[in-house]
């Protein structure tokens, strides 16, 4: 699903966030991306979501080399990715329903279809009774779940999450992680950046560990080789 | 809790009908942008009012000049030449001259106003009767008023006739009353050109007002734009509400400009009819007219759209998710 081939990213000013990174996350897998802050986790996710472009190397996403994706095609690639942020990125001028509906509105779904799918997504994150609520009135955990509902409402084959539990207490964090695991069980490929090692160990999924922009451990490869 | 399910077929439902998606999106934005304007009713109205005033100004001038044109339209057909005869020419001699002039092919009508008739008329209409009586003798000359045959193909002909009449021995002064009509026409032409210059300048002002308003809208909705780009919105999708908003500004401004112009005409109409009745005329102030109104509203919509396009093309690509 995601294949990095000797990818480097150097930001203007000279800071090299990733250097010569190669790994492969097969379709239908869930993996955690770990490392200290500044290790390059966010940069990696940004490269996949085409927010940044690599300085060197190739990224293959679902069989498509992202280097060949022109700026005009970027939106269509992004529609196949659900992105979840630490700070939710919700729009606070509209109720929960409208926030979750946004990806469907962009794709031009009909009104009826949107209603159905938004309620299904809210049901999956346990917020069905909050669809008319204003996001600002929700707790941090609830806001994060609205963000997740928005990321999955159009059923993308890939979910990216950047520190989704960063601001949550351990209990809520576990719930959120379990939610991701459930999406993975039905075939969605999931990549979660997190530095909460205790929580990740509890979940028991493979880890891709970064340190100063370099791969220090590829848990996905290990599991595949371990099975082989 | 319901199981999330992943299916490609449901994803394709939207992409299989791009035309439908396009239409749905347009309809949604069409209504959504109206909703946006109504939520910000006061500031929207102020923008629309600025556009309306900017457009109503040249529109009002256009109406005014148009009316002056119709008023003066009949005048060149009634261009008369007045021959003021020398004081030594008596009434009989004047009558003979009038008879002679009547035979000219280039003269359609001859009317003799004797000095006595002129005096009576003047006494009656001017109110200076007493003063004239005090003069003892009649100071007014005999006047022959003639209507030349107008041939618009030969503008020089009139001048030739005028010169010929001037040289008659009995004539003191030959005056073509057309001169001032010509001057008026020239002035109207200048006014017309001035209207277009003013209209162009104010049109640019409308463009900039809309552009600036939309630019502020874009800045206020920066976060929304970033988020929607991040979840796969195309530039066209993001541009659309702003373009519609600009269009609504233009349409609203155009309609309000029409209302303002019509109101101004209604307010002046009474005074104008009173004035024209003083001239024994049944002149009625004409409005902007259907096609001019349509043109103005259409042009206003274009300006609104153009202004928002300017803002959107300049500022939207600056906003990228980071």
Domains of chain B by residue range = 25-74+183-318, 80-176
Give pLDDT, residue B156.
Answer: 66
Region B65-73: mean pLDDT is 78
- Separation of CA B293 from chain center: 10
Give pLDDT, residue B10.
Answer: 42
Confidence of residue B77 (pLDDT cuts 50, 70, 90): low
What pairing do the DSSP bridges indicate for beta strands A189-193 and A158-162?
Answer: parallel
Tokens of B206: 């409308």
SS3 assignment, position A27: coil
State the CB neighbour count (10 A cutoff) for residue B300: 29
Q: Which of A80, A108, A111, A160 to mutate to test the interface with B (most CBs of B within 10 A)?
A: A108
Residues of B in contact with A157 (CB under 8 A): 6, 8
- Separation of CA A208 from chain center: 14
Tell the residue number behind the tokens 């009989």, with chain if given. B92
The per-residue pLDDT for range A28-79, each reduced to its tens digit, is 999 999 988 888 888 999 999 999 899 999 999 988 898 888 888 999 999 9
- What does the mean pLDDT of chain B come to? 82
Residues A21 and A213 sit within 8 Å (Cβ to Cβ) = yes
**Residue B199 or residue A167, greater confidence:** B199
pLDDT at A172 over 60: yes
**Residue B141 or residue B70, greater confidence:** B141
Residues A158 and A2 sit within 8 Å (Cβ to Cβ) = yes
φ/ψ (deg, to 5) at A50: 65, 25
Please calculate the CA angle B132-B133-B138 and round it to the nearest 5 degrees.
Answer: 65
- What does the mean pLDDT of chain A come to? 88
B21:A126 CB<8 A: no
Residues A147 and A166 sit within 8 Å (Cβ to Cβ) = no
Residues of A in contact with B7 (CB under 8 A): 155
Residues A208 and A219 sit within 8 Å (Cβ to Cβ) = yes
Residues of B in contact with A186 (CB under 8 A): 3-6
φ/ψ (deg, to 5) at A158: -135, 135
Give pLDDT, residue A116.
Answer: 93
pLDDT at A228 over 70: no
State the CB neighbour count (10 A cutoff) for residue B108: 12
- What are residue A193's DSSP bridge partners? A33, A162
Cα(B161)–Cα(B146) distance, integer angstroms:
11
State the CB neighbour count (10 A cutoff) for residue B71: 17
Give pLDDT, residue B55.
Answer: 92
pLDDT at B16 over 70: no
Tell the residue number behind the tokens 């900017």, with chain if given. B54
Give the relative orientation of helices A96-107 and B18-39 as an angle to the nearest 10 degrees. 140
The per-residue pLDDT for range A119-139, each reduced to its tens digit, is 999 998 889 999 899 999 998
Residues B239 and B311 sit within 8 Å (Cβ to Cβ) = no
3-state helix, strand, coil in chain A (%, to 5): 40, 25, 35
The per-residue pLDDT for range B274-311, each reduced to its tens digit, is 887 777 676 777 888 888 899 999 999 999 999 999 99
Give pLDDT, residue B78.
Answer: 60
Give pLDDT, residue B151.
Answer: 59
Residues of A in contact with B24 (CB under 8 A): 108-110
Q: CA nearest B225: which of B311, B309, B321, B305? A: B321
The per-residue pLDDT for range B93-133, each reduced to its tens digit, is 888 888 888 888 878 788 888 888 888 887 777 777 777 77
Give pLDDT, residue B256.
Answer: 96
Tokens of B108: 């359609």
Q: What is the DSSP letter of B287?
A: -
Closest-approach residue (CA) in chain B for A89: B227
Fold (topology level) of B80-176:
Alpha-Beta Plaits (3.30.70)
Within 8 A by CB and 6+ apart from B136, the residues are none
Cα(A4)–Cα(A218) distance, integer angstroms:
12
What pairing do the DSSP bridges indicate for beta strands A64-65 and A81-84?
Answer: unpaired
Q: Which of A9, A71, A75 to mutate to test the interface with B (most CBs of B within 10 A)?
A: A75
Confidence of residue B3 (pLDDT cuts 50, 70, 90): very low
Residues B4 and A152 sit within 8 Å (Cβ to Cβ) = yes
Tokens of A145: 């779940």
**Candidates A49, A109, A120; nearest CB to B14:** A109
Q: CA nearest B39: which of B221, B238, B223? A: B221
Give pLDDT, residue A226.
Answer: 58
**Residue B35 or residue A121, greater confidence:** A121
Q: CA nearest B107: which of B61, B59, B160, B32? A: B160
B5:A152 CB<8 A: no
A103:B7 CB<8 A: no
Q: What DSSP letter does each residue of A187-225 carry, written as one string?
A: T-EEEEE---HHHHHHHT--EEEEETTEEEEEHHHHHHH
Give pLDDT, residue B48.
Answer: 93
pLDDT at B13 over 80: no
Tokens of A108: 């031009």
What pairing do the DSSP bridges indicate for beta strands A30-34 and A189-193?
Answer: parallel
Q: What DSSP letter does each residue of A73-128 carry, written as one string?
A: THHHHHTTEEEE-TT----TTS-HHHHHHHHHHHHT--HHHHHHHHHHHHHHTT-G
The per-residue pLDDT for range B144-155, each reduced to its tens digit, is 888 877 655 555
First to last CA, chain B: 34
The CA radius of gyration of chain B, in Å to the nearest whole number, is 34
Region B181-188: mean pLDDT is 78
Within 8 A by CB and 6+ apart from B252, the residues are B44, B48, B51, B52
The per-residue pLDDT for range A145-155, each reduced to its tens digit, is 999 999 999 99
Work out the minimum CA distance from A32 to partner chain B, whole angstroms: 21
Work out the minimum CA distance from A174 to partner chain B, whole angstroms: 17
Tokens of B144: 């022959």
Tokens of B178: 């057309």
SS3 assignment, position B166: helix
């Amino acid at each position: 699903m995601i294949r990095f081939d000797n990818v480097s990213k150097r930001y203007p000013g000279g800071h090299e966030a990733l250097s010569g990174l190669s790994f492969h996350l097969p379709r239908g897998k869930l993996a955690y991306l770990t490392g200290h802050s500044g290790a390059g986790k966010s940069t990696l996710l940004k490269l996949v979501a085409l927010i940044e472009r690599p300085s060197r190397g190739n990224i293959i996403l679902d069989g498509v080399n992202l280097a060949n994706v022109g700026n005009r095609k970027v939106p269509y690639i992004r529609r196949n990715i659900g992105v979840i942020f630490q700070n939710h990125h919700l729009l606070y001028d509209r109720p929960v329903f409208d926030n979750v509906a946004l990806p469907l509105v962009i794709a031009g779904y009909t009104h009826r279809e949107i209603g159905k799918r938004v309620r299904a997504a809210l049901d999956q994150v346990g917020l069905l009774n909050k669809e008319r609520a204003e996001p600002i009135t929700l707790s941090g955990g609830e806001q994060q779940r609205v963000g997740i509902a928005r990321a999955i409402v159009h059923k993308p084959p890939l979910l990216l999450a950047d520190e989704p539990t960063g601001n949550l207490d351990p209990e809520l964090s576990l719930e959120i992680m379990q939610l991701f695991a459930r999406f993975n069980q039905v075939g969605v490929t999931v990549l979660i950046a997190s530095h909460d090692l205790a929580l990740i160990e509890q979940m028991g999924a493979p880890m891709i560990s970064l340190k100063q922009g370099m791969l220090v451990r590829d848990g996905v490869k290990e599991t595949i080789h371990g099975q082989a | 809790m319901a199981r999330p399910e992943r299916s490609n077929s449901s994803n394709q439902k939207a992409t299989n009908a791009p035309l439908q998606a396009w239409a749905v999106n347009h309809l949604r934005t069409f209504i959504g942008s109206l909703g946006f304007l109504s939520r910000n009713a006061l500031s929207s109205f102020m923008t629309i009012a600025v556009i309306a005033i900017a457009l109503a100004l040249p529109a009002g001038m256009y109406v005014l000049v148009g009316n002056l044109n119709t008023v003066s339209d009949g005048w060149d057909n009634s261009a008369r030449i007045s021959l003021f005869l020398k004081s030594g020419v008596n009434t009989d001699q004047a009558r003979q001259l009038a008879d002679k002039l009547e035979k000219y092919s280039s003269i359609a009508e001859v009317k003799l106003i004797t000095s006595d008739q002129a005096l009576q008329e003047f006494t009656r209409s001017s109110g200076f009767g007493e003063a004239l009586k005090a003069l003892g003798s009649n100071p007014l000359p005999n006047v022959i008023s003639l209507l030349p045959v107008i041939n618009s193909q030969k503008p020089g002909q009139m001048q030739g006739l005028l010169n010929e009449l001037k040289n008659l021995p009995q004539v003191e002064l030959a005056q073509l009353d057309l001169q001032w009509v010509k001057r008026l026409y020239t002035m109207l032409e200048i006014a017309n050109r001035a209207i277009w210059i003013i209209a162009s300048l104010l049109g640019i002002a409308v463009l900039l007002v809309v552009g600036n308003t939309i630019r502020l809208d874009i800045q206020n909705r920066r976060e929304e734009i970033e988020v929607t780009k991040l979840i796969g919105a195309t530039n066209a999708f993001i541009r659309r509400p702003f373009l519609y908003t600009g269009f609504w500004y233009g349409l609203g401004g155009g309609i309000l400009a029409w209302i303002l112009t019509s109101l101004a005409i209604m307010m002046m109409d009474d005074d104008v009819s009173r004035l024209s009745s003083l001239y024994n005329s049944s002149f009625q102030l004409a409005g902007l007219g259907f096609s001019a109104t349509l043109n103005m509203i259409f042009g206003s919509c274009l300006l609104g759209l153009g202004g928002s396009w300017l803002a959107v093309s300049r500022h939207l690509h600056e906003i990228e998710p980071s």
